[in-house]
Amino acid sequence: MEAIKKAYDLAVENGEIKPRLSLFAKDTKGVPRSTGPHTVILKDSERVNGKDFEGNERPEMKLTLTEGGVDKTYNFPMRTTNGNIHYLIERLADIKEGTEVVLEGKNNGSSSYIEVSVDGVQSVDTEEPKEIPVIQEGDDVSNVPF
């Protein structure tokens, strides 16, 4: 596999392709394990056509980011297998280009996910905090928004 590695390294060196950010790597038993936290700067995103593990075409998001001064890419599907919008789209939607974030692969039992942290705050929530109503015994709760 040395020849393949050399061809890949040459393509990266010549700017033909950008290296991919790897948030998970398979261990000796084939189980995906986190490669740890990656501090990156978000540069750009675009919608691209990709393929799932069965070779079927699907719409994906392609992130272009910089890690340690090296431009890299990271692709993920726009929708989950049940048709919902991918959670990374929700988490990254309000983060501006040029922002430094930490991406870290996490294992949650039988599934894995990517944690997004900005300035040490995980899973960025850009909504204004909602005021919690104070309810006293005997108050009319028919208009409480929950």
Is the confidence at residue 56, as pLDDT, over 60? Answer: yes
CB atoms within 10 A of CB 66: 16
Nearest residue to 114 via CA among 105, 122, 123: 105
Per the model's pLDDT, the better-predicted residue between 111 and 143 turns out to be 111
**How many angstroms separate the first and last alpha carbons of the chain?**
59
What pLDDT, in 10s, does the model give residues 115-133? Answer: 999 986 665 444 444 455 5
CA distance 67 to 129: 32
The structure's pTM equals: 0.73
CA distance 108 to 34: 11
| Sign of torsion over alpha carbons 124, 126, 129, 130 | negative
Identify the pLDDT of residue 68.
94
